[in-house]
Amino acid sequence: MIKTLFHYWRSSSSWRVRWALELKRLKPTMVHVNLLEGESESPSHLKRNPMGAVPVLETDGGKYLIESVAILEFLDETIPSRKLFPGDAYQKSHIRSLVEIINSGIQPLQNLSTLDYLSEKDEERVKWSRHFITKGLFAYEKLCNNTAGKFSVGDEVTAADLFLIPQLYNALRFNLDLKTFGVLEKINQNALATPEGMASHPDRYKPV
Ligand SMILES: N[C@@H](CCC(=O)N[C@@H](CS)C(=O)NCC(=O)O)C(=O)O
């Protein structure tokens, strides 16, 4: 059903999908698209995704699925075991809210192409990114305070964690201290210790 994942090792959006594939026990061919060398803007990749971004998931039927939220929803519909958006309508909506805080409230603002457009100066790029990451993570923490167990919503990894953990990894790249977000730091430790969290981690995909 699933043929190929086009991804970049350090891309947080790619990590979300790699993690989902691990939870669904799917093993597509992994194709590395080097963002730093402009490979996502190549004509062949733009045919897969006109936004020039990763991840892209190719199905057996040759369809290209883009946008990590859409990909996770597709996986949940086609492989209902090990739901990424589990629970009743209220809980599903809560998980989506957490997902969107990161997917639309943080990640696009600190994405490579946004920062390239913003400034060439490292200190401006870092200041901007730290602002939006901090604001979003504080909101995330407030929202998940009442639902967090070992993970963002109870004691099972959900889509929310698949967005949170890669974003925390990016926060560290911008030298933010995760202790500022106590609940999230604990969730981070728990999620990174899961087999699927480890198997999908950027370090496992770093080109040699
Ligand atoms: N909302 C998209 C975001 C995809 C995205 O922004 N990917 C980044 C890497 S995390 C990318 O490919 N950036 C290329 C660029 O900025 O030029 C998703 O969830 O898949």
Gap from CA of 146 to ligand 1 centroid (Å): 30
What would the two tokens of residue 1 be? Answer: 């059903």
Gap from CA of 161 to ligand 1 centroid (Å): 18
Provide the pLDDT for residue 39. Answer: 97
Domain boundary among 24, 57, 82: 82
Provide the pLDDT for residue 52. Answer: 97
> Which CATH number covers residue 76?
3.40.30.10
Site to substitute for ligand 1 among 54, 56, 117, most atoms within 8 A of C-beta: 54
CA–CA distances in Å: residue 121 to residues 2, 41, 42, 117, 118: 41, 23, 26, 11, 9
Q: Are residues 114 and 170 in the same domain?
A: yes
What would the two tokens of residue 125 be? Answer: 């790029």
Provide the pLDDT for residue 174. Answer: 95
Q: Is residue 205 part of a domain?
A: no
Gap from CA of 185 to ligand 1 centroid (Å): 24
Gap from CA of 183 to ligand 1 centroid (Å): 27
Q: Which helix (H) or strand (E) holds 7?
A: strand 2-7
Q: Which of 205, 66, 93 is nearest to 160 (CA)?
A: 93
Q: Which atom of ligand 1 is nearest to the CA of 11?
A: 10
Domain boundary among 82, 113, 138: 82
Tell me the percentage of the chain whose pLDDT exceeds 90.
98
- Give the structural domain span for 69: 2-82
Domain boundary among 67, 82, 97: 82
pLDDT in tens, 19-70: 999 999 999 999 999 999 999 999 999 999 999 999 999 999 999 999 999 9
Q: Are residues 78 and 121 in the same domain?
A: no
Q: Are residues 94 and 113 in the same domain?
A: yes
Q: Which atom of ligand 1 is nearest to the CA of 108?
A: 6
Site to substitute for ligand 1 among 35, 46, 167, most atoms within 8 A of C-beta: 35
- What mean pLDDT is reported for the chain? 97
Tell me the percentage of the chain whose pLDDT exceeds 70.
100
Contact 144, 186 (CB under 8 A): no
pLDDT in tens, 130-174: 999 999 999 999 999 999 999 999 999 999 999 999 999 999 999
Gap from CA of 53 to ligand 1 centroid (Å): 5
Sheet arrangement for strand 2-7: 29-32, 2-7, 56-59, 64-66
pLDDT in tens, 98-120: 999 999 999 999 999 999 999 99
Provide the pLDDT for residue 198. Answer: 98
CA 80 to chain CA centroid, Å, is 20
Q: Which atom of ligand 1 is nearest to the CA of 41?
A: 17
Give me the number of domains the chain comprises.
2
Provide the pLDDT for residue 1. Answer: 87
pTM of the model: 0.97
Provide the pLDDT for residue 119. Answer: 97
Q: Are residues 107 and 161 in the same domain?
A: yes
Q: Kindly give, in sequence order, each residue whose CB lies less than 8 Å from that of residue 94, ignoring residues fewer than 6 positions away.
A: 143, 147, 153
Q: Are residues 117 and 76 in the same domain?
A: no
What's the CA gap between 118 and 179, in Å, rounded?
Answer: 28
Angle ∠(83,146,131) on CA atoms, nearest 5? 90
Site to substitute for ligand 1 among 7, 57, 99, 112, most atoms within 8 A of C-beta: 112
Provide the pLDDT for residue 107. Answer: 98
Average pLDDT over every residue of 61-87:
96
Q: Are residues 26 and 101 in the same domain?
A: no
Q: Kindly give, in sequence order, each residue whose CB lies less than 8 Å from that of residue 69, ignoring residues fewer than 6 positions away.
A: 99, 100, 103
Ligand 1, atom 17, lies closest to the CA of 113
